[in-house]
Structure 1
Amino acid sequence: MKKRRQLAVMAAIWMLSGIHAAAAEQEASVTTDIQSGGVSIRMNRYGDAEKKQEWEDVEDILPGQEIPMITEIENLGEDCFIRYRIRAEAESKREIPSASFRGLPDDCVQKGEYFYDTKILEHGEKEELFTAFMLPETWEQEEEDEIRIYVTADAIQSRNFTPDFESENPWGDTRVQKVSEEEKENQLRVAVPQKGLCRVVVEGDRIITVPDSFFSELGTVVPGDTVQGEIQIENGCEQTEAVYWKLDSEEQTLLNPVELKIEKSSGAILYQGTIQEYQTDQFALLGRYSPEEKDSLMFTLHFPEEMDNLYRLLNGQMTWTFRAVSETQEADFLQEERRETVKTGEESHLFLLLLLMGSACLVLLLIRKRRADE
């Protein structure tokens, strides 16, 4: 009788120790934050050369009279190129030549109906499109007329884009998209893509991740950008350790089309494709490392040129998770991973919890039954 009770209690203790061992596994994560940039411009118009008076409509204009009309573009977003179209229409349908606009900048070229600014407009800078308007002196005042002036300005990021100002279409087939949401001033910062570094060290009974500031925050990216990162692996233990890794991404809208390549220092490619195609919660083997052995992992993110305004001003996160497993624990770890292929992490934890509670209830029932029998 006593032997049966002892077996039931030992089963409960084994389950409790199993839960404790799973929670003590060596695992660490590091998160990389990414922000997509965007182009944002604002048009300002003044009625005086000092730019102190906002523009107000003028009641009477005489032929040959120069009317101050300072019209400028202010860059609130990424460095960009601008182009603009200006036209004046008379209610009488009489033609008004483009020469009626005075003070056009010297660094603009006219191609078709557009004026293209040949220099980059940096974040925070302003560019005057024209400074005054004047009807031709030959304009006949047969009757009262109404003049309307229209200005349309387009902007395109300068990074990863090279206009051909010798051609008749300097921006090529680029499609300009209207941004519908309300713009905010000074909403962006510019970060030049570079290479980030994260050290992953297996040390004693723990695994440590040490990312630099750039690895943790890749900054602002725009279509066409390529950013790189390096992950250095080091085994500081006295025994061989297997290191496994997985990648989780958040904000799918931004990261789905991004092209990801992960390559070991040996040249072996661990993954190449879009982040959208990389859909797995499973750990993959990075390598088995002897004591003091080191290795490195390179990743490259390429943001395709065709990513348009749908992807602007979004935030994304990639979480790199590393798990170190000793040779004696690796078989159990792989068996656990195989079980995870049919369950999510939450379902697995819930299953274990329910199993533990059920086993505890079973133990209590067995003990009570045994006492009743006695």
Structure 2
Amino acid sequence: MKRKRKWMIALGFLILVCGGYMAVSAGNEAAVSNHISTGIIDIELEEHQIKNGKEAKWQDNPLLLPGADVSKIPRIHNRGSDCYVRASIGFRDLAVDLERHIYGLGGSWVKKSDGYYYYTDILKTGESTDLFKGIQIPANFPQEAEGSAFHLDISVDAIQSQNFTPDFSSGMPWGQVEILKCEKQGPYQITSYTPGTGRIFQVEYRGESDSLFINEEDFFENFPVLMPGDVYSDSAELRNNSEKEMELYFRSEVSEKQELTEEVELFITVETDGNEKMLYKGPLKAESLSENRLLAKIPKSGQGKLSFTVTVPKELDNRYSAEEGQVKWIFTTNPKDSGLPSVRTGDFQRIGIFLAAAGVSLGLIVIIMKRKKSNETNHRYSH
């Protein structure tokens, strides 16, 4: 019986040691979650009028008389990313050309030979612009048109301003573009197209603690909201603060199906000792990067550089508007090549805690059993 108790105590001690080791070894692996998001082109057309000296919502079917001044203000709101806008104006069921009697056309609006009115400025996120202010019904409005109803049709298109340059000297400033319907309906978060914060990213190995450290949570932090045709690059410093050569390994994970990560292109290079090599070129969702591969051998007290470029295809359509994607990059100095399933840093810590708790529990069971056995023995001798 003594042997059994000794074996159980030894087993509990072993579990405690293993748990502690696994918790510490987690420091050899560090991960960063990179996020990307795309912008959206989304405009809204509202109509207003001046009534009793105040602006109000437009009311249909006003009674129009020859010489009347009709207050009508078509207003375009930009609910999405920065864009260019254009508008078409057409009167239906009317023999008279009233388009030339429109007044208050803004100075940034020009009509081109393709029939569209183009706004020559960029309409920024959250901004609005008025197409015109009203219509002056001519005093010589023909009598045959009196008593009839007519309609004014206004349609508005928008196109991204990023990676697109209209030719306003041309009769077709936008060329042969295909206008697609915005498929996303709010609410969604819109971020203006602005540069990133200029953060410097680092992956550092500290020999005294045999641990990896990453100084930021997102290596794509400097990237703005991406639009079709965008190309953005950044880099991360690789530092070896130890007195031995460090082998740094790399893999990536995409936790769930994300169509955006299958469309965006990723290009990764690594540089050490003045030599640069390509690590990967392909979709951001990289199946070939799911297993650990050697990223670089960094000499003692040395450093390298990881460079990465993200490219959004020009052909990316409205299906990917206001979409988000995420890919996790995992760095390690001690890849698991045993064929066992890969364990993430957080899993190491949880396993260590679990095994440590199991060891403590087993130790308590041994103590309880020992006390119980002692009590049983004392009871037997008392009789």
Distance 1:14 1:172 in 2: 74
How far did residue 161 of structure 1 move? 0.7
Other structure's SS at 2:121 match: coil
Match of 1:77 among 61, 68, 80: 80
* 1:245 matches 2:247: no
Per-residue deviation, residues 200-222 of structure 1 (Å, max 9, x unmatched)? 11113311001287744634111
Are the aligned partners of 1:87 and 1:150 in contact in 2 as well (CA < 8 Å)?
yes
Per-residue deviation, residues 247-274 of structure 1 (Å, max 9, x unmatched)? 2235722221111100112221001122
TM-score, reference length from structure 2: 0.77
Distance 1:202 1:128 in 2: 58
- Residue matched to 2:350: none
* 1:209 matches 2:211: no
Query: Alpha carbons of 1:48 and 1:81: their partners in 2 closer, same or farther (altered >3 Å)?
Result: same
Distance 2:295 2:12 in 1: 35
- Residue matched to 1:119: 121
Greater length-normalized contact order (CA 8 Å, ≥ 6 residues apart): 2
- Residue matched to 2:136: 134
Distance 1:219 1:262 in 2: 19
- Residue matched to 1:260: 266
1:1-374 equivalent positions in 2, closer than 5 A: 21=21, 24-25=24-25, 26-48=28-50, 52-90=55-93, 94-107=95-108, 108-142=110-144, 143-184=146-187, 187-192=190-195, 196-203=199-206, 204-205=208-209, 206-211=211-216, 215-216=220-221, 218-249=223-254, 252-265=258-271, 266-325=275-334, 333=335, 335-336=337-338, 338-340=339-341
How far did residue 166 of structure 1 move? 2.6
- Percent identity of equivalent pairs: 26
TM-score, reference length from structure 1: 0.78
Other structure's SS at 1:47 match: strand
Query: Alpha carbons of 1:209 and 1:276: their partners in 2 closer, same or farther (altered >3 Å)?
Result: closer
Structure 1: stretches of 5+ with no match in the other structure: 326-332, 346-352, 358-374
One-letter amino acid matched to 1:177: L
How far did residue 119 of structure 1 move? 1.4
Distance 1:335 1:213 in 2: 27
Which of the two has greater strand per residue? 1
Query: Alpha carbons of 1:7 and 1:186: their partners in 2 closer, same or farther (altered >3 Å)?
Result: closer
Per-residue deviation, residues 46-97 of structure 1 (Å, max 9, x unmatched)? 111866211112432123422110112122221110011111112xx52534
Other structure's SS at 1:218 match: coil
Distance 2:66 2:114 in 1: 26
Query: Alpha carbons of 1:250 and 1:89: their partners in 2 closer, same or farther (altered >3 Å)?
Result: farther
Are the aligned partners of 1:194 and 1:227 in contact in 2 as well (CA < 8 Å)?
no
Distance 1:196 1:177 in 2: 36
Query: Alpha carbons of 1:257 and 1:215: their partners in 2 closer, same or farther (altered >3 Å)?
Result: closer
Query: Alpha carbons of 1:193 and 1:226: their partners in 2 closer, same or farther (altered >3 Å)?
Result: farther
Per-residue deviation, residues 18-55 of structure 1 (Å, max 9, x unmatched)? 77655543011112222211122222221118662111
Query: Alpha carbons of 1:9 and 1:280: their partners in 2 closer, same or farther (altered >3 Å)?
Result: farther
Per-residue deviation, residues 270-297 of structure 1 (Å, max 9, x unmatched)? 0112224544421111112222010011
Distance 2:295 2:317 in 1: 35
Distance 1:152 1:78 in 2: 19
Query: Alpha carbons of 1:195 and 1:174: their partners in 2 closer, same or farther (altered >3 Å)?
Result: farther
One-letter amino acid matched to 2:263: P
Are the aligned partners of 2:86 and 2:157 in contact in 1 as well (CA < 8 Å)?
yes
Query: Alpha carbons of 1:275 and 1:302: their partners in 2 closer, same or farther (altered >3 Å)?
Result: same
Are the aligned partners of 2:112 and 2:172 in contact in 1 as well (CA < 8 Å)?
no
Distance 1:290 1:199 in 2: 16
Q: How many residues end up aligned between the 2 structures?
A: 350
Are the aligned partners of 2:36 and 2:220 in contact in 1 as well (CA < 8 Å)?
no
Distance 2:304 2:344 in 1: 31
Distance 2:318 2:287 in 1: 24
How far did residue 304 of structure 1 move? 1.2
CA RMSD after TM alignment: 3.9
Other structure's SS at 2:126 match: coil
Are the aligned partners of 2:46 and 2:74 in contact in 1 as well (CA < 8 Å)?
yes
Query: Alpha carbons of 1:303 and 1:180: their partners in 2 closer, same or farther (altered >3 Å)?
Result: closer
Are the aligned partners of 1:179 and 1:309 in contact in 2 as well (CA < 8 Å)?
yes
Distance 2:276 2:299 in 1: 20
Distance 2:199 2:313 in 1: 20
Query: Alpha carbons of 1:119 and 1:19: their partners in 2 closer, same or farther (altered >3 Å)?
Result: same
Distance 1:97 1:112 in 2: 18
How far did residue 146 of structure 1 move? 0.5
Are the aligned partners of 2:88 and 2:117 in contact in 1 as well (CA < 8 Å)?
yes
